[in-house]
Structure 1
Amino acid sequence: MPQHSRWLATLLAALSAIGPFSIDTYLPAFPAMGAALGASPLQVQQTLTAYMLTFAFMTLWHGALSDRYGRRGPLVLAMGLFAFASLLCAFAPSIEWLWAGRALQGMSAGAGMVVGRAMVRDLYDGAQAQRLMSRVMLIFALAPAVAPLVGGVLLAVAGWRAVFFFLAAFGGALGWLSWRYLPETLPPAARQPLNAASLARGYRAVLGSGAFLLLGMALALNFNGFFVYVLSAPVFVMDHLGLGELDFGWLFVPAVAGMMMGAWVSGRVAGHWSARRSICAGFALMLGAALLNVVHAGLMPATVPGSVLPIALYTFGMGLAMPSLTLLALDLFPQRRGMAASCQSFLQVGTNALTAAFIAPLVWPLPVTLALAMSAFCALGLLAFVLWARRQPAG
């Protein structure tokens, strides 16, 4: 891959990673935030729900805005808003103010993920697009491993508010880098009008497409099989595994290593394997890992490394399948890639938000219920992909 493409992949990955960074960095600080703000564990958990709900809602709009005004400008503005929201969280005097700051973070953090996907397809086709998407995902995958370690160190050294000061600096830096170095990949002649009638037609076409919905849900559900562990990380790491607030790496490092390896393999097989073959291989790995996880959790106590190795195998399969699933969905709407990326992200993050609000608190009390949740999400994602494949011609 040319040097400029590698640099672009790094910046796009960092912009995409600010969303998961905003989640994983502050997970170790949950107990400290609750104690400082006089909030219950459920009230602290609701800061995550507030973030996920606004994140999901705004993903529907980031792409439409980028289809109208170009890719670069909306990204710069979103990163500036994210930096401001992070400062609001850092100075929050009560849990209600923290909810507000987290909601504002969610409104802005998704721009990088949505617009970045559209930029990849603006620039490249076919195997080149899969290679760049895989490289973006490979770098992006570092966020869940690095973020809780950074959060744990900041918590130990300077307290929970330092986590949000760090996020403010991160957002500000990405905003400046985007303004200074990011190319504009959508020429004015290719931009779409931003009016109610045009938007209604666009969203109706995208969200009314059965093929798009099936691909989007396949992507969202298989990711959610891993994300349920992200949401449950404080309980899984500190209660089930019996580790400390600085030990989140025992969960995230193997999981991220698996995701990075899967993304690397996806890039290597681009142009040699069909998209279907990559996706089927990914689902085979995910399903095997999920079943192994259920067996281990049901028969053996939660331990390191036994309880985290199936998660790493699952994320390997996920990393192999995700780039091809993403590109297949975006290719359905070449004239509205931004809107398609928005709707794809909305399905993913909306599923994540529902899991954060309702499912994760139900399944995190026991390792075996967490493992069953992973298996259920994987099975539903596979069903969505199979239903999509049955609608397509062979090849």
Structure 2
Amino acid sequence: MLSKHTEPSPAGFVVLLAGLAMFGPFSIDTIFPMFPDMERALGINAVQMQQTISVYLLAYALMALLHGPLSDALGRRVVILGGVAVFVAASVGCALSTSLWQLLLFRALQGVSAGSGLIVGRAIIRDRFEGASAQRVMSRITMVFGVAPAIAPIIGGLIGTRFGWEAIFWFLALFALTLLACCWRWLPETHPRENRLPLDPLPLFGRYFELLRNPAFVWLALSGAFNFAALFIYIASAPVFVLTHLRLGPTDFGYFFVPAIMGMMSGAWLSGRRAGRHAPASTVKLAYRVMLVAGVVNVAYCALAPSVSWPWAVLPVLVAGAGISLAFPTLTLLLLDLYPHERGTASSLQAFLQLMISSVVAGLLSPWLAPQPVTLALGSVGATVLGWGAWRAYAKRGVGAV
């Protein structure tokens, strides 16, 4: 019950939810600098190593279908606490792995548990906030959340080069354990018993099919998913992009991630500033204009330059990141508002679609696109075009605040 826990301040509540969203990306990005060392230690090649991302994302996506409905039926708090606890155990298992198959198993377990904070956290925001206030809170969390991909590879490089790649997973276990203690102490229950839905698998998956039959839901979900894929193509390809194309070292991943996340934080800040002042459609249109211009400039630079270098190869990613995070809070809130009584379920299906696309990017597209900077740029702008097309399909239906 709420009376047994201390309510955090509004700022503390935002930071707590941002922390819950962070530990998922942390488990992807921290190990990037140590990919070559892990390949040598486990006796595997680069393509096999890339599957540690794909397996994580696939497990994350499949479990995403359950996190939201479980929180609709059991409450938000218990699902988050359980997910973070499992993540602690999975990180310990990764640290102790001595073969690729062991690592893949525990990476999958990390993926199963990591989505609880991000997916259920979105439902918590809509439980407690309405309208422009919800967009502002979502934007602030996006800003704090954006720090994770920037600092994760820097931390991973510092830890891994000094103590070995296994120490990175011990760090993740400690981070999650700290987050678990904070949630136990300060995370309130925002979904009261009288509003909870029965946990029945057949109606649940029936509801998913109903959501997928709603064109507005599908187009918004695809717009957000392709929107993020434009950046995730670079994130999944970061070991090749940073170490090979930019010719930097294992402790230099910040030269890519810091500018990219600065862009994302700027876009999230602007999204919060526009909340209540501009129509949602205006914000999304502006975001896609920014992304498309950045994408075209990126392709032109990569195609014409004899070789790419820092900072010119990273600046278009910075600008695109601003557009991505400018659009994403609005797209997510428009989607959740389609189903005000089933926000957990809607958030789960949105996350599932996004993560399935991200797993395809990591497992199939990234190994194919990463060898050449120009193909990476083309893949990124292609994802932006698909996201823009999905938004246009939604907007033409004349639904929501478009």
- TM category (shorter chain) comes to over 0.9
Within 2, Cα distance between the matches of 1:208 and 1:193?
22
**Displacement of 1:165 after TM fit?**
0.1
Q: For 2:340, which of 319, 334, 340 is the aligned residue?
A: 334
Alignment correspondent of 1:372: 378
**Displacement of 1:357 after TM fit?**
1.3
Within 2, Cα distance between the matches of 1:37 and 1:389?
49
CA contact (8 A) 2:59 2:111 kept: yes
- Structure 1 residues 68-79: aligned runs within 5 Å: 68-79=73-84
Q: For 2:188, which of 183, 205, 213 is the aligned residue?
A: 183
Within 1, Cα distance between the matches of 2:264 and 2:155?
20
Within 2, Cα distance between the matches of 1:317 and 1:111?
26
Within 2, Cα distance between the matches of 1:286 and 1:378?
7
**Displacement of 1:222 after TM fit?**
1.0
Identical pairs, percent: 45
Within 2, Cα distance between the matches of 1:127 and 1:392?
21
Alignment correspondent of 1:223: 228
Give CA-to-partner distance per residue, 1:338-387, whole Å, 9 cap, x none. 00000111111110001111111110010000000011000000000000
**Displacement of 1:113 after TM fit?**
0.8
SS at match of 2:287: helix
Q: For 2:34, which of 29, 39, 43 is the aligned residue?
A: 29
Alignment correspondent of 1:15: 20
CA contact (8 A) 2:227 2:383 kept: yes
Q: Which runs of 5+ in 1 are unaligned?
A: none
Give the alignment's TM-score, normalised by structure 1.
0.98
1:129 aligns with 2:134: yes
SS at match of 2:342: helix
Moved more, 41-50 or 105-114: 41-50
Give CA-to-partner distance per residue, 1:291-337, whole Å, 9 cap, x none. 01000100112111100000000000111111000000000011100
SS at match of 1:110: helix
Moved more, 126-135 or 385-394: 385-394
Q: For 2:200, which of 179, 195, 204 is the aligned residue?
A: 195
Within 2, Cα distance between the matches of 1:122 and 1:344?
17
1:153 aligns with 2:158: yes
Alignment correspondent of 2:273: 268
**Displacement of 1:207 after TM fit?**
2.1
Give CA-to-partner distance per residue, 1:22-42, whole Å, 9 cap, x none. 100011111111111112222
Give CA-to-partner distance per residue, 1:261-314, whole Å, 9 cap, x none. 100011111100111111111111001000010001001121111000000000
1:324 aligns with 2:330: yes
Within 2, Cα distance between the matches of 1:93 and 1:359?
28
CA contact (8 A) 1:131 1:270 kept: yes
**Displacement of 1:176 after TM fit?**
1.5
After superposing on structure 2, the runs of 4+ consecutive aligned residues of structure 1 that deviate more than 6 Å are none
Q: For 2:309, which of 284, 298, 303 is the aligned residue?
A: 303
**Displacement of 1:156 after TM fit?**
1.3
CA contact (8 A) 1:262 1:320 kept: yes
Within 2, Cα distance between the matches of 1:94 and 1:281?
47
Within 1, Cα distance between the matches of 2:331 and 2:120?
17
Q: Which runs of 5+ in 2 are unaligned?
A: 1-7
CA contact (8 A) 2:47 2:367 kept: no
1:281 aligns with 2:286: yes
Within 1, Cα distance between the matches of 2:244 and 2:201?
50
SS at match of 1:317: helix
**Displacement of 1:4 after TM fit?**
2.1
Give CA-to-partner distance per residue, 1:33-88, whole Å, 9 cap, x none. 11111122222111111111101101111001000010011100100000000000
- Structure 1 residues 109-124: aligned runs within 5 Å: 109-124=114-129
CA contact (8 A) 1:206 1:333 kept: no
Moved more, 192-201 or 264-273: 192-201
- Structure 1 residues 30-179: aligned runs within 5 Å: 30-179=35-184
Within 1, Cα distance between the matches of 2:153 and 2:11?
26
**Displacement of 1:19 after TM fit?**
1.1
Aligned length: 394
Within 2, Cα distance between the matches of 1:93 and 1:357?
22
CA contact (8 A) 1:76 1:176 kept: no
- Structure 1 residues 350-389: aligned runs within 5 Å: 350-389=356-395
Alignment correspondent of 1:208: 213
1:314 aligns with 2:320: yes
